């Protein structure tokens, strides 16, 4: 139930720090070791290439998961949109492992791929919020998200739970392969949970930013590079689906290859700057759009911030920034929808789980 909250979406955004703490508890032994099914560990270690299959927000979490698995566990990863996979099935590696990411565990597009790859005899792991769901029952292995029921159609806490579980999976695989890591994943996730809480306490600031940047606009752009780009895709999906503002997430470096033509006087541009190695280049992209009239704001991270940034996120481990940078984007979408008197929890034309292909 939503209790004192006006909408499930806002409640679910606020629950995110608790979900991260729950995930830490569920995936940790009393001796502070990672606790993952040994069979999953073996399957990950045995695979020479991981194929992540998902739709919508879960696909966006998969893009972040790819970075974790490649950077930490040194296994190549491909991320595919479920509905596209069958038409252009890539040449598979010798020992593929399929990882399905699905909040509901019922998405028909993902299930169609699962059925197909099981027929081909390949192993599958499902990461889902609903144990016992179709995708979880039909896969060989399951990891639970422990996010609690997600009621709002727009996915929020499931996205961050997916990213946290993918981080744990990547670290566990790295350990299984004997790769030394220079950080304690659970400690870093605990820092993330605190950072999320600091952000969910800043609703007034974010509501104010929404009024300043998104009150009357028909479109908006989110720009970022590297990890930030993937979070921009998620931020723009949130804004589209609940406020009906036409929004797109772009890779900063691609702007000059076409998209910048769309920038007009007052076009809102929301830039993420959480990564040291692209801090300079994303900021020059912002200057480019501002000089063409854009109404741009920068959301940066402590340590990388500059004077005029609209919001500075608390510092977290560089790989885990999506878990915190997405929170203000979720809130921007929420307040934009409120402002436009849209039905936040039940946006038009959408269903919570999409059980048709």
Q: Which residues contact 130 (CB under 8 A, 6 or more apart)?
A: 103, 104, 105, 106, 136
- Residue 281 near residue 251, CB atoms below 8 Å: no
Q: Smallest gap, in angstroms, from Cβ of residue 166 to ligand F6R?
A: 13
Per-residue binding string, ligand F6R, 47-76, x by CB under 6 A, is --------xxxx------------------
Q: Smallest gap, in angstroms, from Cβ of residue 39 to ligand F6R?
A: 23
Of 34 and 342, nearer to ligand F6R (C-beta) is: 342
Residue 4 buriedness (CB in 10 A; 0-12 / 13-18 / 19+): exposed
Q: Smallest gap, in angstroms, from Cβ of residue 280 to ligand F6R?
A: 32
103 binds ligand F6R (CB under 6 A): yes
Contact set for ligand F6R, span 9-38 (CB under 6 A):
none
Alpha carbons 75 and 67: distance in angstroms, whole number: 10
**Backbone φ, ψ for residue 168 (5° rounding):** -65, -40
Exposed e or buried b per residue across 221-241, where buried means at least 16 C-beta atoms within 10 angstroms of its C-beta: bbbbbbbbbbbbbbbbbbbbb
Of 141 and 288, nearer to ligand F6R (C-beta) is: 141
How far, CA to CA in Å, does 35 sit from each of 100, 176, 188, 262, 265?
20, 12, 17, 49, 53
Contact set for ligand F6R, span 116-175 (CB under 6 A):
154-155
Annotated catalytic residue 352: yes
Alpha carbons 310 and 298: distance in angstroms, whole number: 6
Which of 12, 67, 197, 241 touches ligand F6R (CB under 6 A)?
Answer: 241
Q: Smallest gap, in angstroms, from Cβ of residue 138 to ligand F6R?
A: 14
- CB closest to ligand F6R, residue no: 56
Of 107 and 136, nearer to ligand F6R (C-beta) is: 107
Alpha carbons 223 and 87: distance in angstroms, whole number: 30
Of 131 and 314, nearer to ligand F6R (C-beta) is: 131
Q: Which residues contact 331 (CB under 8 A, 6 or more apart)?
A: 13, 199, 200, 203, 206, 207, 210
Of 8 and 267, nearer to ligand F6R (C-beta) is: 8
Which of 107, 236, 267, 330 touches ligand F6R (CB under 6 A)?
Answer: 107
Contact set for ligand F6R, span 337-356 (CB under 6 A):
353-354
Number of residues interacting with ligand F6R: please give it, by CB under 6 A.
Answer: 15
The encoded tokens of residue 138 equal: 């039909």
Of 10 and 304, nearer to ligand F6R (C-beta) is: 10
Alpha carbons 94 and 75: distance in angstroms, whole number: 13
The encoded tokens of residue 237 equal: 């999906």
Q: Smallest gap, in angstroms, from Cβ of residue 281 to ligand F6R?
A: 29
Q: Smallest gap, in angstroms, from Cβ of residue 282 to ligand F6R?
A: 25
Measured in residues, the chain has a length of: 357
Chain residues binding ligand F6R by CB under 6 A are 55-58, 102-104, 107, 110, 154-155, 237, 241, 353-354
List active site positions.
Answer: 352
């Amino acid at each position: 139930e939503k209790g004192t909250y006006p909408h499930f979406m806002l409640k679910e955004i606020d629950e995110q720090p608790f979900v991260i703490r729950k995930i830490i508890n569920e995936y940790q032994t009393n001796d502070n070791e990672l606790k993952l099914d040994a069979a999953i560990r073996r399957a990950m270690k045995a695979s020479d290439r991981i194929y992540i299959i998902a739709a919508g927000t879960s696909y966006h979490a998969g893009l972040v998961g790819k970075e974790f698995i490649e950077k930490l566990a040194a296994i190549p990863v491909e991320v595919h949109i479920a509905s596209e996979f069958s038409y252009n099935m890539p040449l598979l590696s010798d020992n593929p492992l399929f990882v399905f990411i699905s909040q509901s565990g019922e998405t028909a597009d993902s299930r169609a791929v699962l059925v197909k790859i099981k027929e081909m005899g390949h192993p599958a792991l499902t990461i889902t919020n609903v144990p016992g769901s179709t995708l979880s029952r039909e896969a060989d292995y399951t990891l639970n998200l422990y996010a609690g029921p997600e009621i709002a159609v727009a996915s929020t806490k499931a996205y961050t739970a997916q990213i946290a579980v993918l981080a744990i999976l990547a670290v566990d695989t790295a350990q299984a392969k004997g790769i030394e890591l220079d950080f304690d994943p659970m400690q870093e996730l605990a820092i993330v949970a605190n950072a999320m809480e600091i952000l969910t306490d800043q609703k007034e600031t974010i509501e104010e930013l929404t009024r300043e940047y998104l009150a009357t606009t028909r479109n908006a752009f989110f720009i970022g590079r590297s990890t930030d780009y993937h979070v921009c895709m998620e931020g723009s999906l949130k804004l589209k689906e609940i406020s009906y503002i036409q929004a797109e997430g772009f890779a900063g470096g691609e702007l000059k290859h076409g998209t910048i033509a769309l920038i007009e006087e007052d076009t809102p541009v929301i830039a993420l700057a959480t990564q040291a190695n692209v801090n300079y280049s994303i900021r020059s992209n912002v200057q480019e759009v501002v000089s063409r009239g854009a109404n741009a704001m920068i959301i940066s991270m402590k340590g990388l911030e500059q004077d005029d940034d609209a919001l500075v996120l608390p510092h977290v481990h560089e790989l885990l920034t999506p878990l915190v940078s997405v929170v203000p984007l979720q809130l921007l979408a929420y307040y934009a929808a409120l402002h436009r008197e849209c039905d936040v929890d039940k946006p038009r034309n959408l269903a919570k789980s999409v059980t048709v292909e």
